[in-house]
Amino acid sequence: MNDPRNGADPEQALTVAADGAVRIVTLNRPQAFNAADEVLHGELASIWRELDADPEARAIVLTGAGGAFSGGGDLHLLQRMTHNTEVRAAIMAEAADIVRGMTSVRAPIIAAVNGPAVGLGCSLASMSDIVLVEEQAYFADPHVALGLVAADGGAVLWPLLTSLLRAKEYILLGDRLSAADAVQIGVANRVVPTGTSVGAAIALGHRVAALPPQAVRETKALLNQAVRNAVDSLLPGALAAESASFEEPAFRANLENMLQRKSG
């Protein structure tokens, strides 16, 4: 099967392609490892409403262009959020939209984790309904190690996917989680060979799309009820705590060190 990402418009930070009833959503900043700048973050906040309004969309594949799924938040955006409270508030509002959109969109989301899924990338995978991860890929949530509260998905959802002790270990320490270990602890469904995740996800998408649509929608809604309850209960306070992290000296120092290493 042809990879629809090959025809992605390089000028678009997020692209959507149709393969029958399957919609392929691609994070399209490969030169930045698909890290979310303001444009990409904003599009991630709105795309789920658009897909929910598409009557022909029966399944969604989420992946990244190039060799990464997503490298997390763009460092320059994080720097702007540190010094501009209006930008920070807007991004936090979008973060809530991303979480609520992904966990309530009616069509099942199949994540094709084609490379590193770090920070926000790790959260995007955790909010998907089926997660395929390529054998060379890995997950990591370095929010806490950087000095930020892990609010945009991981701390809310990982305890529903794996044991609380496992969630605490990987989110507090920020260690890399290999593809095989991700499947073993329950934050991914299966490991696939390098270069095959998108094709495998599209194939799964067509299997889902061929099922009776009302049964799929309502069953997914039932399965996600605990997820939505957790989001409603925890997300506002979590995002407020993460926003406060931007004022912390430890985070500001860590971010400055990362920016200096990047520029050097």
For 137-164, what is each residue's pLDDT tens digit?
999 999 999 999 999 878 899 999 999 9
The model's pTM is 0.94
Q: Is 115 helix (H, G, I), strand (E, B) or coil?
A: coil
pLDDT for position 152: 82
Rounded average pLDDT over 7-14: 72
Q: What is the DSSP letter of 108?
A: P
Q: Please name every residue paired with 14 in a beta bridge, in sequence order, or none if there are none.
A: 27
What does the DSSP 8-state code read for residue 224? T
How many CB atoms within 10 Å of residue 166? 18
CB 69 within 8 A of CB 63: yes
Spatial separation of the C-alpha atoms in residues 2 and 198, rounded to whole Å: 9
Whole-number pLDDT of residue 5: 42
Q: By 3-state DSSP, what share of the chain in percent is helix, strand and coil, each rounded to 5? A: 55, 15, 30
The answer to whether 130 and 187 are in contact (CB under 8 A) is no
Q: Find the largest Cα–Cα distance for the chain.
A: 55
Predicted local distance difference test score (pLDDT) of residue 64: 98
Sheet of 117-118, strands arranged across:
117-118, 138-140, 177-178
Which one-letter DSSP state was computed for residue 223?
A: H
CA 97 to CA 220: how far, in whole Å? Answer: 19
All structural domains of the chain, each given as residue ranges with its CATH number in brackets, are 4-196+212-263 (3.90.226.10)
Contact 89, 239 (CB under 8 A): no
* Strand ranges of the sheet holding 14-19, from the earlier edge strand across to the other edge: 14-19, 22-27, 59-64, 109-113, 130-134, 190-192
Q: What is the mean pLDDT of the chain?
A: 95
Cβ contact 98:146 at 8 Å = no
Q: Is pLDDT at 8 greater than 60 in this prediction?
A: no
Residues 32/38, Cβ–Cβ less than 8 Å: no
**Phi and psi based region of residue 230 (left: phi greater than 0; alpha: psi -120 to 50; beta: remaining):** alpha
Strand partners, 131: 111
Indicate the SS3 state at residue 4.
Answer: helix
Q: What is the pLDDT of residue 6?
A: 46
What pLDDT shows up at residue 10? Answer: 60
In this prediction, residue 263 carries a pLDDT of: 83
